Amino acid sequence: MIKKFLDTKTHNITLASFILGFNYLVSALLGLLRDRLLASRFGAGDELDIYYAAFRIPDFVAMIFIIGSISATIIPIFSEYLVRSKKEAWEFFSNLLNVCLVCLIVICFILIIFTPQILSFIVPGFSQEKKELTICLTRIMFLSPIILGISNLISGILFVFKRYLVTSLSPIMYNLGIIFGIIFLVPAFGVKGLAFGVILGAIFHLLIQIPILFEVGFKSEKTFNFFHPGFIKTIKLSIPRTFGLLASQINLLIITSISSTLFAGSIAIFTLSNNIQSLPISLIAASFSSAIFPVLTIHFSQKNKKEFIEQFSLIFREIIFLIIPLSFLIFLLRAQIVRVILGTGKFSWVDTRLTAACLGIFSFSIFAYGLSLFISKVFYAIQNTKIPSLITLFTVLLNIILSFLFVWLLSFDNPFKEFMINFLKLEGISNISVIGLSLAWSLSGIFQIIVQLIFLYKKIGDFKIKEILKSFKNTLISSIIMSFIVYFSLRFFSKIVDMKTFIGVFSQAFFASIIGILVYILISFVLKSEEIKIFKDLFLKAFLKINGKY
């Protein structure tokens, strides 16, 4: 029965997006619970800095070699093989799986040996004691990219077969493993228990998908061929993407390096606020992008440009419709969000204010990173990995330059620093340099989406720009009106609830959000937004289907 449930196949793109979105939401909520447990137990201090710094090299390996590069190209290549022959498709995948597994093991083994030397460059501001513990955690976590790498290859194949449910459940299992580590392994092993929890989560991520992989027809073959035509094509398509990801990962390493030279807890504050702002990106942009990717790939393979543009425009507008109002809400509710999620245990009031400030800055670029994720998928669907990779490279260079600039500007008294303190309500906090990293990140993201749209237009021509601009205008108007209502709602509820308690802060944010969302929906109906009609029809069909009337 469980296996049958996990093997659920979804054909409707919007419905598939909602399935992915719902499970991403559950995963994100578990991620927030994970962060709350971490903040409560350790606070924004040395331990969390060590934990997040230890993630950097294993994540680097996973993203560069599998998750972000090869797994992004496997769908179109496997789809091409599948059209011709199932036997050839599975032979290609078996060979890819075997080669990638061996390569990951070798790479991770070498990096484990040289971890101390590598970390000397990544965390130059750490004391020797902090550095030694970071080395230990990093070496343990090197099991993670091996397991997650293989698991993400499997996810790519299951996407081709429209098994969206099980692939979207795997991140949930990953977070459950980490939470288990925080609750049960940390008391037994200290900070090392966090690393063991990450490994456990990676194992869960893989195990839930394996039965469904065999269900869709996979049969393991003893093949190991670096010169297989499919493998060579995968590597060729992955190389430009790899360089783009290499730039992104170097960007994170440099941010970690800069953070390590700031006050203790800077890495934790940046990472925790970044985790929160990634929620709408995962919930909306990632779910829609993942669901539409195989469809766009098929339309491109069939040279069906009209349907390709139609699907692109529709998903682009749906992402705008959902992600922009959420960005406004996050900025308005940044303090309440951080207090509710992280404001407990050892997480101090200064930690809360700085994290909220970083989150507020991040909120300005949530739409940019969400749409950028989707447009990157569009480029991959047309088998063009060079353009998004080059854009990413320039974006990262800009971010690195801006990071050094803003951190420097915020390190001494000047009009810019005074403006940021007043704008983000950071009076009384002398060291606010960490928010310079968030500001650089946001501005770089906005630059990235603008350049991507320009190059996409040059590549595929008009992608219904007029319809997109109309949708953007209506969404912006609705979001601005919603923001005024939410602002005054927050002030109203602050007078009738106890703002010194968790329940009071949560109630204020919850009711203000509900009122704001209802106003947004109402204004969208008044403006006759096409997207609200699409979602209304979808929910109506789902309701009728549940009641046996459709």
**What is the DSSP annotation of 399-418?**
HHHHHHHHHHHTTS-SHHHH
Q: What is the pLDDT of residue 279?
A: 84
Helices 334-341/305-332 angle, 10° precision: 80
Q: What is the mean pLDDT of residues 71-90?
A: 83
Question: Does residue 348 lie in a domain region?
Answer: yes
Residue 545 has pLDDT above 70, yes or no: no
Q: Quote the CA–CA distance of 295 and 281 in Å, as a whole number.
A: 20
CA 468 to chain centroid, in Å, comes to 24
State the pLDDT confidence band at 287, using cuts at 50, 70 and 90: confident
Same domain assignment for residues 458 and 470: no
Q: What are phi and psi of 85, to 5 degrees?
A: -160, 130
Spatial distance between the Cα atoms of 388 and 473, rounded to a whole number of angstroms = 26
Q: Domain range spanning residue 478?
A: 465-545
**Under a CB-based contact definition with an 8 Å cutoff, are residues 70 and 238 in contact?**
yes
* Whether residue 542 has pLDDT greater than 50: no
Q: What is the DSSP string of 378-399?
A: HHHHTT--HHHHHHHHHHHHHH
Better-scored residue on pLDDT, 246 or 534: 246
- With tokens 């093991």, the residue in question is 105
Residue 540 has pLDDT above 60, yes or no: no
**Same domain for 385 and 521:** no
Residue 7: pLDDT band (50, 70, 90) is very low
Do 469 and 453 share a structural domain? Answer: no
- Identify the residue with better confidence: 72 or 92: 92
Q: What is the DSSP string of 489-503?
A: HHHHHHTTS-TTSHH
Residue that finishes a domain, picked among 432, 463, 494: 463
Residues ≥6 apart with Cβ < 8 Å to 22: 168
Tell the residue number behind the tokens 């900025």, with chain if given: 331
φ, ψ at 394 (rounded to 5°): -65, -35
**What is the average pLDDT across 236-240?**
75
> Would you say residue 46 lies in a domain?
yes
Report the percent of the chain where pLDDT is more than 70.
Answer: 91
Please answer whether residues 426 and 354 qualify as being in contact, where contact means their C-beta atoms are separated by less than 8 angstroms. yes
Q: Across residues 489-508, what is the average pLDDT?
A: 91
Among 94-98, 131-135, 305-309, 419-423, the range scoring the smallest mean pLDDT is 305-309
Identify whether 3 is part of a domain.
no
Mean pLDDT of the chain: 86
In-domain check, residue 414: yes
Q: What angle do CA 422, 279, 169 make, to 5 degrees?
A: 165
Taking residues 254-268, report their average pLDDT: 89
Is a pLDDT exceeding 60 seen at residue 454? yes
How much is the pLDDT for 550?
46
* 444 and 473 inside one domain: no
Same domain, 335 and 474: no
Distance set, CA 447 to CA 305, 331, 392, 440 (Å): 28, 20, 10, 11
- In angstroms, what CA-CA distances link 376 with 245, 290, 448? 12, 11, 11
Instruction: Note the pTM of the prediction, 2 decimals.
Output: 0.82
Which amino acid, one-letter code, is at 101? L
Residues 12-35 have a mean pLDDT of: 75
Give the span between the Cα atoms of 81 and 107, in whole angstroms: 29
pLDDT at 12 (0 to 100): 56
Of 12-26, 136-150, 401-415, the one with minimum mean pLDDT is 12-26
Q: Is the pLDDT confidence value at 507 over 90?
A: yes
**Paired tokens of 39:** 């903040």
The answer to whether residue 472 is domain-embedded is yes
CA 243 to CA 268: how far, in whole Å? Answer: 27
Which of 443, 463, 483 is a domain's end point? 463
The answer as to whether 325 is a domain residue is yes
H or E segment to which residue 177 belongs = helix 164-180
| Res. 481: pLDDT tops 80 | yes
**Residue 470 and residue 437 share a domain:** no
Confidence of residue 65 (pLDDT cuts 50, 70, 90): low
Are 89 and 141 found together in one domain? yes
Tens digit of each residue's pLDDT (9 = 90 or more) over 304-348 = 778 888 888 888 888 899 999 999 999 999 999 999 999 888 888
Report d(CA 170, CA 213) in Å as an integer: 13
Model confidence over 191-218: pLDDT tens digits? 899 999 999 999 999 999 999 899 888 8
Amino acid 531: pLDDT? 74
Q: Among candidates 533, 172, 539, 156, which has minimal Cα distance to 377?
A: 156
Q: For residue 325, what pLDDT is reported? A: 93
Give domain status of residue 173, yes or no: yes
Answer yes or no: are the C-beta atoms of 479 and 404 closer than 8 Å.
no
Tokens of 148: 């997650």
With a cut of 70, say whether residue 13 has pLDDT above it. Answer: no
> What is the per-residue pLDDT for 8?
52
Q: Which of 437, 72, 465 is nearest to 244 (CA)?
A: 72
Q: For residue 115, is pLDDT > 90?
A: yes
Say yes or no: 446 and 484 in one domain.
no
The set of residues, in sequence order, having a beta carbon less than 8 Å from that of 265 and lying 6+ positions away, is 43, 44, 45, 46, 48, 49, 351
241 band by pLDDT with thresholds 50, 70 and 90 = low
Are residues 433 and 307 part of one domain? yes
Domain for residue 1, yes or no? no
Total structural domains within the chain: 2
User: Which of 429, 463, 497 is the last residue before a domain boundary?
Assistant: 463
Average pLDDT of the residues in 7-22: 60
Residue 421 sits in the same domain as residue 480: no
Assess whether 333 and 443 both reside in one domain.
yes
**Residue 446 vs residue 241, higher pLDDT:** 446
Which pLDDT score, from 0 to 100, does residue 10 have?
54
Q: How many CB atoms lie within 10 A of CB 127?
A: 11
Same domain, 104 and 205: yes
